[in-house]
Amino acid sequence: MLNTNDILESIRMISDENLDVRTVTMGISLLDCADPDPKKACEKIYNKITTKAKDLVSTAEKISATYGIPIVNKRISVTPIAMLLGCAENPDPVEYAIALDRAAKAVGVNFIGGFSALVHKGFSAGDRALIEAIPEALAKTDFVCSSINIGSTKSGINMDAVKLMGEIVRKTAEATADNQCMGAAKLVVFCNAPEDNPFMAGAFHGPGEPDCVIHVGVSGPGAVRAALAKNAKGLATDEVAELIKRTAFKITRMGQLVGNLVSKELGIPFGIVDLSLAPTPAIGDSVANILEEIGLDTCGGCGTTAALAMLNDAVKKGGVMASNHVGGLSGAFIPVSEDDGMIKAAECGCLTLEKLEAMTAVCSVGIDMVVVPGDTPAAVISGLIADEAAIGMVNSKTTAVRVIPAIGKTVGDTLDFGGLLGYGPVMPINMTSPQVFIDRGGRIPAPMQALKN
């Protein structure tokens, strides 16, 4: 039985509050594309992706038009390319990235993730070559995204990889210095990376996944903020949480519906819904604005971490009930350059890198889309990666670092990436050197999982 108010509420959430399905991501295994001849491997990669995903964009667009649901991004994630490099003779990883980019352009998706390596316990054949090729690969391609997993709760943190990634993040920014250092915006360093993440830049198709699968990432900070603005006045915090849960349920049901429809239409199994609040630079579509609606003067002030913890938990509780399988990153995202409220809070100095780090302990992902001064040494970036990974490792959660050293710029300047990646002010970072710690290398042992305190 259709209810007029329900219909109008859905329309309002979509048209006025920026509710959308943020991404439909097709995960494709490339394990069967491995070949000792790198040229043949690249050809197999291109052919498999363009065959499996040939109807992805048109199908998603048809469903979007038929059901009146905006689907913003259509994307592809693939098996970590380092796994394919291992068996090839003298492969050039950049050629693999170019094959991915060509395939992405041929099928019309706007990002392809999986120029990745999983090195949380050490480097195997292909891993180091892939990592060293990241700066060139991301400079020479448009749509390829890269992610490296350098730690996990079960294995600890690979400090050799942490050291290497600090250098690689810098080199990637330098290689794209004439293009807003864009390369670094397509590179993320993970601890506890999920294998079924539909969101970029960290999406890759884990080795435990089926041959081909559809994942969906939902959005909706604007809808949550609007629900709070309208109904939360005078409510106790647990009642606010309940309101967020109810809104998250509705948002996630939309994602579940789209996933089912795309999966059925393409004949490909439906994987997971990523229960996320993914902001955009559009005014009002902001996680920071939700925190401010809950009662903070400005995001980044005292109380931010607690409000975010409640928000993150309520989103998950509402979303879990609405979907069959939940996965990916699932939680509130806090990418600074992609969130209008975060940008403003960073610009006025209320939101600092240290506060962001605290926030990552209670919400999805980590230090995300943060622009740091161009002269930030690689060791400092490595230190930041190690800190963030430690939070993820100890708390058994995913954390990540996606920082963009603004080459030639300093605090007070901005980088403008355009589109959903938004723009960000250069934020101050503590420049005292962790060089000796970073140079030690080795591994941080896996943490105790009992005697928690």
Partner 1 sequence: MKAVITVIGKDRVGILARVSGACAEHNVNVLEVTQNILQGLFSMIMVVDVTNADMEIDQLASVFGKLGEELGMDIRFTRTELYEAMHHI
Is the bond preceding residue 201 a cis peptide, omega within 30 degrees?
yes
- Please, are residues 237 and 244 in contact by the beta-carbon 8 Å criterion? no
In three-state secondary structure terms, 175 is: helix
**Considering the complex, what minimum distance in angstroms separates the CB of residue 25 from partner 1?**
20
Please report whether residue 6 would count as binding partner 1 according to CB under 8 A.
yes
Among 26, 69, 277, 407, binds partner 1 (CB under 8 A): 69
Cα separation, 349 vs 28, whole angstroms: 42
Question: Which of residues 31, 32, 40, 67 is near partner 1 by CB under 8 A?
Answer: 67
- The β-bridge relationship of strands 144-152 and 212-218 is unpaired
Nearest to 154 by CA among 130, 118, 129: 118
Q: Which stretch binds partner 1 (CB under 8 A): 37-45, 66-74, 112-120, 185-193?
A: 66-74
3-state helix, strand, coil in the chain (%, to 5): 45, 20, 35
Of 176 and 256, the one with the shorter C-beta distance to partner 1 is 256
Q: Residue 137, Cβ neighbours under 10 Å: how many?
A: 28
**CA–centroid distance for 44 within its chain:** 27
Task: Tell whether residue 250 is a contact of partner 1 (CB under 8 A).
Answer: yes
Query: Is residue 11 within the footprint of partner 1 (CB under 8 A)?
Result: yes
Instruction: Please select the residue that binds partner 1; options are 85, 133, 241, 257, rule is CB under 8 A.
Output: 257
- Determine the interface stretch with partner 1 among 1-9, 182-190, 403-411, 424-432 (rule: CB under 8 A): 1-9
Please tell me whether residue 4 binds partner 1 under the rule CB under 8 A.
Answer: yes
Using CB under 8 A as the binding rule, whether residue 231 contacts partner 1 is answered as no
Residue 388's φ and ψ, nearest 5 degrees, are -65, -40
Site for partner 1 contains 24 (CB under 8 A)? no
| The only residue of 50, 55, 62, 232 in contact with partner 1, by rule CB under 8 A | 62
HEC assignment per residue over 65-129? HHHCCCEEEEEEEECCCHHHHCCCCCCCHHHHHHHHHHHHHHHCCCEEEEEEEECCCCCCCCHHH
Verify binding: residue 264, partner 1, rule CB under 8 A.
no
Q: How far is the CB of 259 from partner 1 (least distance, A)?
A: 11
Give whichever of 160 and 274 is closer to partner 1, judged by the CB atom: 274
Contact 219, 427 (CB under 8 A): no
451 touches partner 1 (CB under 8 A): no
Q: How far is the CB of 3 from partner 1 (least distance, A)?
A: 7
Minimum CB distance to partner 1, residue 290 (Å): 19
- Closest CB to partner 1 among residues 19, 362: 19
Residues in 106-135 that interact with partner 1 by CB under 8 A: none
Burial 288-317 (b: 16+ CB within 10 A, else e): bbbbbbbebebbbeeebbebbebbbbbbbb
Q: Which stretch binds partner 1 (CB under 8 A): 61-69, 163-171, 185-193, 445-453?
A: 61-69
When binding is defined by CB under 8 A, the residue of 36, 37, 68, 237 that contacts partner 1 is 68
Q: Binding segment for partner 1 among 89-97, 116-124, 251-259, 376-384 (CB under 8 A)?
A: 251-259
- Contacts of residue 232, Cβ cutoff 8 Å, sequence gap at least 6: 239, 240, 243, 293, 294
Residue 91 vs 217, nearer CB to partner 1:
217
Q: Which helix (H) or strand (E) is 188 found in, with range?
A: strand 187-191
d(CA 122, CA 442): 9
- Among candidate residues 124, 37, 42, the one with its CA nearest the CA of residue 82: 124
Residue 266 vs 426, nearer CB to partner 1: 266
Region from 33-41, 120-128, 252-260, 287-295 binding partner 1, contact rule CB under 8 A = 252-260
Q: How far is the CB of 449 from partner 1 (least distance, A)?
A: 36
Binding site for partner 1 (CB under 8 A): 2-4, 6-11, 15, 62, 65-69, 250, 253-254, 256-257, 321
